[in-house]
């Protein structure tokens, strides 16, 4: 009987689990090897250098632009009255959006016991951190007098003045910073066991020192694992509402104001869906080349990619639905101003932006209805890039078209970006990729321990009551010991 | 070292002590001779370190400020308090009584003088901006003497020295070969000196020239009544006003009075209405105010006058001499709309005999003016709504003849010394005279000019001209009232007035000062030495000599000459001629004839019609533009019999078909840093024969484009947006038909109502136990003259941003005047609507500011606290009126010290990155409040007047306390015509607009109602 | 033990480094140098919040608000002598204090009214005599210096019975004038919110040594009603 069950295993796998999450006969040891090797190699692939060079240059450009901005004033941008926000806030919302996939994958998918997340969550979380970093930059520099920004924070002062708690912009500050902190903790905590592994494998003193420093003395003892997984669970639970809250709050910047095209209740869900959509596209965009360069094809398999494409398709359709509803409500509400705003978006001077948005965000992802495309690297890259462009334009359309033609025709206007606007946008990508490439080079880019936990060798996947990674009680699986289980069968 | 913050005094001195310096010296000395000992070096470094560290520290200390009191404080002087003096400015030979506000010796603000017969306390945009001219850094700072190519800055004494022999010779030759070229002036001092001139130097020639001369009107009067006169309209008592291409409300010496009286006569609540007919070729503020407006090409306007006369004489049996009847018999207007217009108009006029006023514009030929006066005569208006006074200088030849004959004199070389008092003939004289070349040939030319302009360059001498705020003078208003001009500040650059310079040519070194000249001149107006001082003081106090207006003269109509002149018109074809386009030369609302080209405030003031800033452009009507294939911003080559220029085109609705309008005064090359190279110089197309109209203009496209900076339609608008504008404007700028309104006010207003869901607010309402400030703006009074815009700029230290920024929609004006067109683009109806912050009850801006930099005060002001603002611009995004203005750059970085003298110390100067907007002139509110409190009395209604309201000629803007039911503003808010713009958003604006009233003649088709179905919000 | 964990340790065990034979569990997890870093890190973590607290504190400290600022003046004029011992009323020199926003610094003439005869020869007043003779003003150093965007009106306060000392302290005891009060916005607001403590009969506003002969708060309340003192805390009251 034991034999028969033993044989039944792969069949069961095939039926229930679909193709394995780790391919190419990787063993526990080889997983460690593959992932750590990336960090331990004396030098990364040439592609990395090229990419890093370019992004570092762009990042430099960003800081040059910020310097210029702070010296000259926000006039160096194309903004004006009526269009008081241009690229600055567009970039902000765009990057915050990108920052969503990470926590979603690591927290929500974790709670939903989606095992396939293990190979990609580290990526996604890292991406989140860097994206939110870029995002945070823009509200900070978009103000006219950056040097008195601290007035935004409730610090006791001799003016006896407090910030205005009615302002969505203030809520933003809190929402985003909270999100940043939690994501950072989550990311770092998840990394601790792997950092320890790197520490133990480290050859040079420096590596041993730093990895030692950051692995906080992880030894992998039961108690540590116990605490670790409790904490992980807690953080996941804590992060989950944040995923929804951050972008909802960001959307309040618009929904709470009364500009036609902004003033609508659908924004929070619509923004969150859009954020996840864009975030996943970005994950795909990052993961596909990385798995090429660093030979992670076995850990990050087609199945992972395919799952993500499915999410992209789903969220993409939600976004599409939101577009339709917006337009429908604008018509149905009978509010002539709203009506005009949407007509103007689709047919006015910014029609090009609107249609770019629609084709990139709604039409392009429809490719993923077909398995062929879901599994074709070029198609995935194409859509991923398309969606990122589309999502940027979504924010551009919402912000600029609504502002440029609001209530009084006499003050209607037009926004034209300046070279500074464009360089700043480029630069923010530079910063993002620079940080991400550094991450690829110096940190475990795949959650080694977690991946192992979903490998057959881990023999955790058998027990349907247990998701991976989570842990119950000090003496695991005693019931198996008592009533016989795979372990005793050996 | 001691300049540093005293806090670190002791250490600072340590670093600054002689001992320290000694050490320094010894250090270097030692270092020079032998290896420095370790001790000295360390000590030296320590001390240096100390001083450097302190330098760093002192950086974050307060700057050390000095208080510099007078050694001998003038009597009654209070530091930092504003003083107001009566004085007067002058334009086109007519003085305007002004009230200048001065703080610590700096005049910073100009307002109208209540006693001024024309302004009656109001002022024009140009009056308001004149204070900036005083502080213009480009003003010439010394007399300049030119010899060949080399120019030398000299002193006044050198000039006097130069004049010595000259004056002697002139005495000998009785002024032979001496000529003066003056601008028109009402100065009594100059008049006196001229009389002396005529007596003592009879050979000397005197010419007077004004590029925007109004002498056609003068000629018309000479024809009609046999002698040159000045006409005065009494719009207050006129039921029907008919303007033949006359911009009565803006481009007229009595414009302020007209605007006020027209508005006063239209208060429909008091049952008063009047009807304004305007026939014109280029839309102007008067056309915008018209109840009925007809676009006709210039050449068709005089004939139209005949058409109206025809109707009056034949349809309405006004008795006229037979010869006139003959001329008028076949003079019906040829094209149908014009005929309908003429018939309806004639009917109205006939029905209101003695209660109508008819005027022709100064661009129109004398005959047109004669026709207008003929109508006034036939309708019995003379003595009722139209009055005449004697011309101040009857013998004077017309300006264009004068300049022509001066040119002849110069050509013949009969002038040795030419004295040009002000003006800029080298730039603005008719092109056919080639005046610049002639001027260059004059042996000795003296130019009195505030700037080194095109003319001064060619003169041997340039004498800096005093600004009126630096001068003594007596000058006459349009109606002849005597006004005082007294200086508020020592001439900054030793400027001289016309009179002072003139005196030099009579008395040389012995010439009297402006002050003495003024007192002499005043002597003629008071009887006896006894009360001279008293009345002189009184004059300086009031600024006006009561009862000194010129007496009205009775006139008798000269049928003969009038008939002759009408004969001439009757040959003109009134339909667009075959000989190409017809050009009209316009005075520009900002730079006038070009003299204000270097005034940044005026340059940035949007034109009332085109909304253009910093440029002029060739204005063409939509249909003409289509025919020519010309679009706004196209550069076209415009040629009129031989002479050609290149100029950007601007398509302006309402310009008559086949007409191209050319505003004068731009394309200056020597105006100064502000005015140089703005716009296009159209003077080269202007001939002395046809100064205002030119036939046979030809246009060809160059294919190039020129960026124009307009504050509306910043960019070309697509058809959908244009339709949307049309649809919205009805509810934003509301209008009622007079008759409907009189029948049922509420119903009449409802036509424009916006249907909206019930208005509920998330936040509890504010409660106001004290004051509740509010404003009311009467759209039926507003003429869109821009006075408020510039007044606000002057009062509130609003920066000038320049063309590039305006083009990028970053203009800073706190109050703007929205101009919208309705109906047929070729003859649209035009409305103006001033828009400033309306201080919403539920202000969207207040709610979104993260740092509470814009908040509601206990008196309902929507306060903007600059020093708290961090510049997120969220408030501006959320403001439905888009009245908030942002300092995208530090717009004051490049101001010269002298320019900063124009700043109002009562208003914070905003830094870069800060939002700003209309404050209801809160500084005036607080000042008045403190005065009232110190006097232990409540604030009186009308005690607080914001700058915009103070300047408004039509009294369209009223400010006050809404909690006081007796206040004017509260009453206006209560009127049926009052409405809140965008009130459907539940922002509850504090500014109520009073709907514009259109008092139509039912004979003329009503405005088609398209775009007026109720809007849902 | 679930093997995932064993896996981790296994991985670390077979760390491809042939040199280390000993099992991972025994090898010290941290390099020794960490022992030195621990306190450093500890201090750093403690220092950051401390720094913030200190910053906030410093912002309100007397030094930052320049309380005690006492610059040298071009003339050794002693308020202690004139206002104090001689008991000259503030308004004798600061004439406009009741009528205007500025309490004007007196012109040299005012000094000379007396010093033309009194101590005319004293070297101390040499600069004053110079100024009077040449007409060149004396350049006093400003002590009470509000930011330019603050509009303070003396008349509005003095006429309501806010005593000079409320903002300027006992000037009659100062040899050279010193800033006594912080003059911060919070400090202004304290009084604008509850003026009672600073009110006195208006005619006594300039009296330096005045002390109420009843409970100051009772008096303050009464005066507040009598003189309709209702100070506004709107931003526009001081910022325009």
Task: Please report the pLDDT score of residue B459 as a whole number.
Answer: 92
Place of tokens 């551009």: A396
Q: Are residues B420 and B532 in the same domain?
A: yes
Q: In 10 A of CB B742, how many CB atoms? A: 15
**How far is Cα B160 from Cα B705, in angstroms, rounded to an integer?**
51
Angle at A298 between CA A295 and CA A300, to 5 degrees: 90
Total tally of structural domains belonging to chain C: 2
Kindly list the distances between the CA atom of residue A478 and the CA atoms of A265, A337, A453, A462, in Å, as whole numbers in the listed order. 52, 68, 19, 15
**How far is Cα B935 from Cα A462, in angstroms, rounded to an integer?**
92
> By C-alpha distance, which of B59, B97, B105, B109 is closest to B80?
B105
B868 — contact with chain A (CB < 8 Å)? Answer: yes
Interface of C with A (CB under 8 A): 1-5, 7-12, 14-17, 24-25, 27, 29-31, 33-34, 37, 56, 59-60, 65, 182, 184-187, 189
**How far is Cα B408 from Cα B532, in angstroms, rounded to an integer?**
45
**How far is Cα B496 from Cα B159, in angstroms, rounded to an integer?**
12
Measure the CA dihedral B672/B673/B676/B677, to 10°.
180
Task: Give the domain range for residue B959.
Answer: 11-27+714-1002
Angle at B116 between CA B111 and CA B119, to 5 degrees: 60
Average pLDDT over residues A442-457: 80
**How far is Cα A352 from Cα A356, in angstroms, rounded to an integer?**
6
Q: Please indicate, yes or no, if residue C155 is contained in any of the structural domains.
A: yes
Q: How far is B449 from chain C (nearest CA, A)?
A: 34
Task: Please report the pLDDT score of residue C1 as a whole number.
Answer: 34
Q: In 10 A of CB B42, how many CB atoms? A: 11
Q: Are residues B305 and B335 in the same domain?
A: yes
> Which candidate from C8, C10, C33 shows the least CB-CB separation from A209?
C33
Q: Are residues B681 and B735 in the same domain?
A: no
Spell out the residues 6+ positions from residue B190 whose beta carbon is closer than 8 angstroms to its own.
B182, B421, B498, B499, B502
Task: Please report the pLDDT score of residue B739 as a whole number.
Answer: 86
Neighbours of chain B (3+ CB pairs under 8 A): A, C
Q: Please indicate, yes or no, if residue B59 is contained in any of the structural domains.
A: no
Q: Does the pLDDT value for residue C23 go beyond 50?
A: no
Q: Are residues B800 and B867 in the same domain?
A: yes
From B347, B366, B390, give the residue that closes a domain.
Answer: B390
Preceding omega of A82 cis (within 30 degrees of 0) = yes
**How far is Cα B585 from Cα B363, in angstroms, rounded to an integer?**
8
Q: Are residues C101 and C55 in the same domain?
A: no
**How far is Cα A444 from Cα A440, in angstroms, rounded to an integer?**
7
Q: How far is C109 from chain B (nearest CA, A)?
A: 6
DSSP, res A101: H
Q: Which residues in chain B show pLDDT less than 70?
A: 1-62, 572-579, 714-716, 1005-1017
Q: Please indicate, yes or no, if residue C26 is contained in any of the structural domains.
A: yes
Q: Which residues from B are below 8 Å from A336, CB to CB?
A: 727, 1015-1017
Give the sign of the dihedral formed by CA B182, CA B115, CA B922, CA C220. positive
Q: Are residues C26 and C99 in the same domain?
A: no
Q: Which residues from B are below 8 Å from C132, CB to CB?
A: 71-72
Total tally of structural domains belonging to chain B: 4
Q: Least CA distance to B866: which residue of chain A?
A: A145
Task: Please report the pLDDT score of residue A33 as a whole number.
Answer: 81
Per-residue pLDDT tens over the stretch A343-389: 999 998 999 999 999 999 999 999 999 989 988 889 999 999 999 99
Q: Please indicate, yes or no, if residue B900 is contained in any of the structural domains.
A: yes
**How far is Cα B17 from Cα A243, in angstroms, rounded to an integer?**
65
Q: Are residues B384 and B418 in the same domain?
A: no
**How far is Cα B918 from Cα A259, in angstroms, rounded to an integer?**
21
Bridge partners, residue B663, by sequence: B586
DSSP, res B340: H
Q: How far is B520 from chain A (nearest CA, A)?
A: 54
Task: Please report the pLDDT score of residue B358 as a whole number.
Answer: 94
B922 — contact with chain C (CB < 8 Å)? Answer: yes
> Which candidate from A36, A160, A209 shows the least CB-CB separation from C185?
A160
Q: Are residues B830 and B979 in the same domain?
A: yes
Tell me which of A295 and A184 has the higher pLDDT. Answer: A184
Q: Please indicate, yes or no, if residue B109 is contained in any of the structural domains.
A: no
Q: Are residues C99 and C213 in the same domain?
A: yes
The SS3 call for residue B552 is strand
Q: Please indicate, yes or no, if residue C34 is contained in any of the structural domains.
A: yes
CB contact under 8 A, C107 and B62: no
Q: Are residues B407 and B384 in the same domain?
A: no
B9 — contact with chain C (CB < 8 Å)? Answer: yes
Per-residue pLDDT tens over the stretch B518-574: 998 998 888 777 788 888 999 999 999 988 899 999 988 888 888 888 888 777 664
Q: What's the gap between Cα C24 and its chain centre? A: 62
CB contact under 8 A, A217 and C3: no
Task: Please report the pLDDT score of residue B21 as a whole number.
Answer: 42
Q: Which residues from A are below 8 Å from B849, CB to CB?
A: 164, 167
Q: How far is C34 from chain B (nearest CA, A)?
A: 37
Kindly list the distances between the CA atom of residue B19 and the CA atoms of A42, B53, B54, B606, C79, in Å, as whole numbers in the listed order. 62, 19, 18, 64, 33
Q: How far is A322 from chain B (nearest CA, A)?
A: 23
Spell out the residues 6+ positions from residue B537 whose beta carbon is closer than 8 angstroms to its own.
none
Specify the pTM: 0.88
Task: Please report the pLDDT score of residue A27 as a whole number.
Answer: 75
Q: Please indicate, yes or no, if residue B86 is contained in any of the structural domains.
A: no
Q: Are residues B206 and B219 in the same domain?
A: no
Q: Are residues B428 and B538 in the same domain?
A: yes
**Token pair belonging to B202:** 């009879």
From B526, B542, B558, give the residue that closes a domain.
Answer: B542
Q: Are residues C164 and C100 in the same domain?
A: yes
Least confident piece of the model among A17-21, A298-302, B89-93, B776-780: A17-21
Q: Give residue B74's region: left, alpha or beta (phi > 0; psi -120 to 50).
A: beta
Q: Are residues C99 and C201 in the same domain?
A: yes
Q: Are residues C178 and C230 in the same domain?
A: yes
A340 — contact with chain B (CB < 8 Å)? Answer: yes
Q: Are residues C48 and C99 in the same domain?
A: no
Q: Are residues C45 and C99 in the same domain?
A: no
Bridge partners, residue B144, by sequence: B153, B462
CB contact under 8 A, B851 and A151: yes
Task: Please report the pLDDT score of residue A79 as a whole number.
Answer: 93
Confidence of residue A460 (pLDDT cuts 50, 70, 90): low
CB B400 within 8 A of CB B211: no
Q: Are residues C51 and C100 in the same domain?
A: no
Q: Please indicate, yes or no, if residue C119 is contained in any of the structural domains.
A: no
Type and span of the H or E element at B475: strand B473-476
Q: Please indicate, yes or no, if residue B36 is contained in any of the structural domains.
A: no
Query: Exposure string (b/e) for C35-46, b if CB count within 10 Å is 16 or more?
Result: eeeeeeeeeeee
Q: Does the pLDDT value for residue A95 go beyond 70?
A: yes
Q: Are residues B657 and B790 in the same domain?
A: no
Average pLDDT over residues A415-419: 93
**Token pair belonging to A192:** 């601790």
CB B820 within 8 A of CB B726: no
Q: Please indicate, yes or no, if residue B457 is contained in any of the structural domains.
A: yes
Bridge partners, residue B208, by sequence: B182
CATH number, domain with residue B581 = 2.40.40.20
Q: Are residues C148 and C229 in the same domain?
A: yes
CB contact under 8 A, B66 and C104: no
Q: Are residues C101 and C194 in the same domain?
A: yes
Please give the share of chain A, as a percent, with pLDDT higher than 90.
43
CATH number, domain with residue B859 = 3.30.70.20
B877 — contact with chain A (CB < 8 Å)? Answer: yes
Task: Please report the pLDDT score of residue B14 as a whole number.
Answer: 38
CB contact under 8 A, A164 and B851: yes
Tell me which of B825 and A429 has the higher pLDDT. Answer: A429
Task: Give the domain range for residue C22.
Answer: 2-60
How far is the first Cα of chain C from the last one, in angstroms, to the nearest whole number?
73
Task: Please report the pLDDT score of residue C36 as a whole number.
Answer: 77
Per-residue pLDDT tens over the stretch C159-179: 988 999 999 999 999 999 999
> Which candidate from B720, B810, B874 shows the least CB-CB separation from A81?
B810
Task: Please report the pLDDT score of residue A476 as a whole number.
Answer: 43
Q: Are residues B633 and B733 in the same domain?
A: no
CB contact under 8 A, C145 and B907: no
Mean residue pLDDT across chain A: 84
DSSP B261-314: HHHHTT-GGGT---EEEEEESS--HHHHH-SEEEE--GGGHHHHHHHHHHIIII
Spell out the residues 6+ positions from residue B958 whose beta carbon is closer than 8 angstroms to its own.
B775, B776, B777, B778, B949, B968, B969, B972
**How far is Cα B98 from Cα B128, in angstroms, rounded to an integer?**
10
Q: Please indicate, yes or no, if residue C71 is contained in any of the structural domains.
A: no
Tell me which of A490 and A381 has the higher pLDDT. Answer: A381
CB B383 within 8 A of CB B459: no
Q: Are residues C32 and C100 in the same domain?
A: no
> By C-alpha distance, which of B449, B442, B440 is closest to B420?
B449
CB contact under 8 A, A256 and B718: no
Task: Please report the pLDDT score of residue B650 as a whole number.
Answer: 93
Q: Least CA distance to B863: which residue of chain C?
A: C236
Q: Please indicate, yes or no, if residue B69 is contained in any of the structural domains.
A: no
CB contact under 8 A, C11 and A157: no
Q: Please indicate, yes or no, if residue B135 is contained in any of the structural domains.
A: no
**How far is Cα A97 from Cα A274, in angstroms, rounded to an integer?**
7
From B390, B408, B435, give the residue that closes a domain.
Answer: B390
Place of tokens 């205005």: A164
Q: Least CA distance to A33: which residue of chain C?
A: C11
Q: Please indicate, yes or no, if residue C112 is contained in any of the structural domains.
A: no
> Which candidate from B718, B844, B913 shows the least CB-CB separation from A74?
B913
> Which candidate from A80, A166, A337 shows the least CB-CB separation from B809?
A80
Tell me which of B438 and A102 has the higher pLDDT. Answer: B438
Q: Are residues B272 and B187 in the same domain?
A: no
Q: How far is C30 from chain B (nearest CA, A)?
A: 42
């Amino acid at each position: 009987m034991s034999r028969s069950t033993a044989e039944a295993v792969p069949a069961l796998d095939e039926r229930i689990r679909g193709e394995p999450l780790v391919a190419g006969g990787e063993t526990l040891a080889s997983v460690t090897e593959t992932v750590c090797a990336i960090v331990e190699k004396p030098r990364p692939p040439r592609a990395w250098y090229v990419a890093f060079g370019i992004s570092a240059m762009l990042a430099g450009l960003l800081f040059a632009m910020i310097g210029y901005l702070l010296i000259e004033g926000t006039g160096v941008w194309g903004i004006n009255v009526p269009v008081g926000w241009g690229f600055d806030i567009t970039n902000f919302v765009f990057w915050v959006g990108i920052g969503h996939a990470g926590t979603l994958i690591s927290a929500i998918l974790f709670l939903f016991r989606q095992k396939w997340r293990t190979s990609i969550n580290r990526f996604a979380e890292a991406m989140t951190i860097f994206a939110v970093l870029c995002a945070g930059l823009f509200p900070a520099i978009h103000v006219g007098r950056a040097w008195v920004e601290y007035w935004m924070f409730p610090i006791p002062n001799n003016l006896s003045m407090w910030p205005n708690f009615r302002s969505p912009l203030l809520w933003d500050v809190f929402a985003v910073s909270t999100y940043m902190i939690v994501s950072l903790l989550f990311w770092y905590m998840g990394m601790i066991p792997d950092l320890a592994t790197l520490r133990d494998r480290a050859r040079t003193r420096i590596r041993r020192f730093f990895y030692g420093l950051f692995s906080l003395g992880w030894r992998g003892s039961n108690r540590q694992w116990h605490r670790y997984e409790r904490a992980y669970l807690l953080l996941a639970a804590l992060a989950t509402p944040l995923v929804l809250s951050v972008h909802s709050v960001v959307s309040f910047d618009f929904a709470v104001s009364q500009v036609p095209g902004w003033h609508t209740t659908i924004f929070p869900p619509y923004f969150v869906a859009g954020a996840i959509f864009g975030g996943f596209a970005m994950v795909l965009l990052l993961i596909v080349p990385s798995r090429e360069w660093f030979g992670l094809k076995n850990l990050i398999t087609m199945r992972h990619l395919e799952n993500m494409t499915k999410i992209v398709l789903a969220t993409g359709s939600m976004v599409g639905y939101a577009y339709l509803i917006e337009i429908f409500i604008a018509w149905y509400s009978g509010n002539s101003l709203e009506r005009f705003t949407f007509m103007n978006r689709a047919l006015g001077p910014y029609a090009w932006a609107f249609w770019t948005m629609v084709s990139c965000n709604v039409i392009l992802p429809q490719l993923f209805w077909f398995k062929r495309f879901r599994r074709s690297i070029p198609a995935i890259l194409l859509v991923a890039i398309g969606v990122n462009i589309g999502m940027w334009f979504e924010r551009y359309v919402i912000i600029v078209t609504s502002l440029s033609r609001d209530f009084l025709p006499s003050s209607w206007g037009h926004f034209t970006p300046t070279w500074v606007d464009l360089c700043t946008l480029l630069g923010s990508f530079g910063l993002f990729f620079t940080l991400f490439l550094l991450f690829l080079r110096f940190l475990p880019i795949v959650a080694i321990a977690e991946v192992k936990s979903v490998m057959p060798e881990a023999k955790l996947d058998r027990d349907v009551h247990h998701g991976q990674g989570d842990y119950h009680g000090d003496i695991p699986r005693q019931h198996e010991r008592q009533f016989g289980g795979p372990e005793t069968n050996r | 070292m001691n300049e540093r913050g005293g806090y670190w005094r002791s250490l600072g001195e340590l670093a600054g002590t002689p001992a320290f310096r000694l050490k320094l010296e010894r250090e270097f000395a030692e270092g020079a001779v032998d290896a420095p000992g370790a001790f000295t070096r360390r000590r030296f470094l320590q001390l240096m370190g100390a001083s450097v560290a302190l330098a760093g520290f002192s950086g974050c200390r307060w700057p050390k400020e000095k208080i510099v009191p007078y050694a001998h404080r003038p009597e009654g002087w209070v530091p930092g308090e504003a003083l107001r003096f009566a004085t007067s400015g002058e334009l086109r030979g007519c003085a305007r009584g002004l009230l200048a506000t001065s703080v610590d010796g700096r005049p910073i603000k100009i307002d109208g003088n209540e006693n001024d017969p024309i302004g009656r306390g109001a002022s024009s945009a140009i009056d308001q901006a004149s204070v900036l001219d005083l502080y213009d850094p480009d003003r010439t700072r010394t007399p300049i003497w030119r010899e060949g190519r080399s120019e030398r800055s000299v002193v006044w004494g050198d000039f006097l020295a130069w004049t010595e022999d000259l004056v002697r010779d002139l005495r000998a030759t009785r002024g032979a070969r001496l000529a003066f070229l003056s601008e028109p002036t009402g100065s009594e001092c100059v008049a006196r000196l001229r009389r002396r001139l005529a007596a003592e130097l009879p050979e000397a020639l005197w010419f007077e020239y004004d590029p925007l001369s109004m002498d056609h009107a003068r000629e018309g009067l000479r024809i009609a009544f046999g002698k040159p006169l000045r006409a005065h309209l009494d719009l207050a008592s006129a039921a029907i006003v008919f303007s033949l291409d006359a911009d009565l409300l803006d481009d007229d010496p009595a414009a302020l009075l007209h605007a006020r009286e027209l508005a006063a006569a239209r208060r429909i609540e008091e049952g008063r209405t009047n009807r304004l007919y305007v026939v014109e070729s280029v839309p102007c503020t008067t056309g915008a105010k018209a109840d009925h407006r007809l676009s006709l090409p210039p050449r068709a306007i005089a004939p139209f006058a005949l058409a109206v006369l025809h109707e009056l004489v034949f349809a309405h049996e006004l008795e006229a001499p037979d010869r006139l009847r003959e001329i008028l018999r076949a003079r019906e207007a040829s094209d149908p709309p014009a005929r309908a217009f003429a018939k309806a108009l004639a009917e109205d006029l006939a029905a209101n005999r003695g209660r109508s006023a008819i005027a022709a514009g100064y661009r129109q030929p004398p005959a047109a003016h004669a026709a207008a006066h003929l109508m006034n005569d036939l309708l019995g208006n003379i003595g009722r709504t139209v009055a005449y006074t004697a011309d101040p200088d009857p013998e004077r030849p017309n300006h264009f003849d004068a300049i022509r004959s001066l040119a002849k004199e110069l050509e013949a070389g009969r002038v040795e010394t030419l004295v040009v008092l002000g003006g800029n003939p080298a730039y603005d004289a008719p092109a056919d005279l080639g005046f610049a070349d002639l001027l260059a040939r004059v042996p000795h030319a003296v130019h009195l000019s505030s700037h080194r302009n095109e003319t001064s360059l060619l003169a041997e001498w340039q004498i800096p001209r005093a600004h009126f705020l630096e001068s003594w003078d007596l000058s006459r208003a349009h109606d002849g009232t005597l006004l005082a001009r007294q200086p508020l500040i020592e001439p900054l650059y030793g400027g001289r007035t016309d009179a002072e310079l003139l005196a030099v040519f009579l008395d040389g070194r012995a010439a009297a000062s402006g002050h003495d000249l003024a007192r002499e001149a005043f002597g003629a107006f008071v009887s006896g030495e006894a009360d001279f001082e008293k009345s002189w003081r009184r004059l300086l106090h009031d600024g006006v000599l009561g009862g000194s207006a010129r007496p009205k003269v009775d006139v008798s109509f000269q049928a003969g000459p009038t008939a002759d002149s009408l004969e001439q018109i009757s040959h003109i074809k009134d339909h667009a001629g075959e000989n190409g386009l017809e050009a009209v030369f316009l005075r520009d609302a900002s730079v006038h004839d070009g003299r204000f080209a270097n005034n940044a405030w005026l340059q940035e003031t949007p034109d009332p019609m085109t909304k253009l800033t910093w440029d002029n452009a060739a204005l063409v009507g939509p249909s003409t533009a289509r025919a020519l294939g010309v679009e706004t911003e196209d550069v076209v080559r415009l040629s009129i019999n031989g002479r050609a220029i290149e100029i950007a085109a601007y398509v302006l609705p309402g310009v008559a078909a086949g007409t191209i309008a050319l505003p004068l005064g731009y394309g200056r090359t020597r105006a100064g840093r502000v005015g140089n190279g703005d716009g296009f110089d159209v003077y080269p197309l202007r001939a002395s024969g046809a100064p205002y109209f030119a036939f046979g203009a030809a246009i060809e496209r160059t294919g190039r484009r020129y960026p124009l900076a307009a504050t509306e339609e910043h960019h070309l608008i697509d058809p959908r947006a244009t339709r949307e504008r049309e649809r919205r404007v009805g509810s934003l700028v509301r209008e009622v038909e007079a008759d409907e309104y009189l029948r049922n006010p509420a119903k009449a207003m409802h036509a424009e109502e916006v249907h909206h869901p019930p208005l509920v607010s998330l936040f509890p309402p504010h409660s106001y136990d004290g004051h509740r400030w509010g404003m009311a703006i009467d759209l039926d009074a507003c003429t869109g003259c821009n006075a408020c815009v510039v007044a606000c700029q002057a009062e509130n230290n609003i920066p000038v941003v320049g063309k590039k920024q305006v083009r990028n929609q970053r203009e800073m004006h706190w109050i703007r005047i929205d101009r919208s067109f309705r109906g047929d683009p070729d003859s649209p109806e035009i409305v103006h609507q001033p828009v400033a912050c309306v201080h919403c009850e539920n202000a969207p801006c207040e709610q979104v500011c993260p740092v509470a930099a814009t908040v509601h005060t206990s008196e309902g002001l929507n306060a903007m606290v600059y020093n708290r603002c961090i510049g997120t611009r969220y408030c501006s995004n959320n403001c439905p009126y888009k009245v908030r203005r942002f300092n995208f750059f530090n717009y004051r970085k490049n101001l010269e010290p002298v320019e900063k003298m124009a700043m109002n110390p009562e208003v914070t100067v905003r830094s870069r990155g800060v939002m700003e907007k209309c404050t209801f002139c809160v500084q005036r509110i607080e000042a008045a409040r403190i005065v009232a409190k110190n006097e232990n009395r409540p604030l009186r209604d009308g005690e607080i007047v914001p700058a915009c309201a103070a300047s408004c000629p039509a009294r369209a803007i009223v400010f006050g306390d809404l909690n006081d039911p007796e206040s004017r503003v509260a009453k206006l808010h209560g009127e049926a015509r009052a409405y809140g713009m965008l009130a459907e958003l539940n922002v509850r604006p504090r500014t109520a607009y009073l709907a514009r009233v259109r008092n139509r003649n039912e004979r003329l088709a009503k405005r088609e109602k398209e775009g007026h179905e109720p809007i849902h919000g | 033990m679930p093997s995932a964990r064993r896996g981790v340790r296994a991985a670390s065990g077979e760390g491809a480094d042939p040199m280390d034979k000993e099992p991972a569990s025994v090898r010290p997890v941290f390099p020794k140098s960490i022992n030195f870093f621990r306190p450093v890190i500890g201090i750093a973590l403690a220092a950051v919040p401390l720094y913030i607290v200190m910053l906030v504190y410093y912002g309100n400290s007397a030094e930052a608000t320049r309380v005690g600022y006492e610059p040298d003046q071009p003339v050794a004029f002693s308020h202690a002598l004139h206002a104090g011992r001689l008991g000259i009323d503030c308004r004798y020199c600061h004439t406009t204090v009741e009528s205007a926003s500025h309490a004007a610094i007196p012109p040299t003439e005012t000094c000379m009214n007396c010093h033309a005869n009194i101590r005319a020869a004293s070297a101390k007043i040499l600069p004053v005599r110079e100024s009077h003779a040449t007409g060149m003003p004396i350049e006093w150093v400003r002590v009470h210096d509000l930011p330019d965007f603050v509009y303070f009106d003396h008349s509005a306060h003095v006429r309501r019975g806010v005593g000079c000392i409320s903002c300027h302290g006992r000037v009659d005891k100062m040899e050279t004038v010193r800033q006594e009060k912080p003059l911060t916005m919070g400090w202004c607001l304290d009084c604008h919110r509850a003026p009672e403590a600073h009110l006195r009969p208006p005619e006594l506003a300039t009296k330096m040594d005045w002390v109420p002969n009843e409970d100051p708060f009772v008096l303050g309340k009464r005066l507040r009603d009598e003189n309709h003192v209702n100070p506004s805390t709107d931003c526009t009251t001081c910022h325009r």
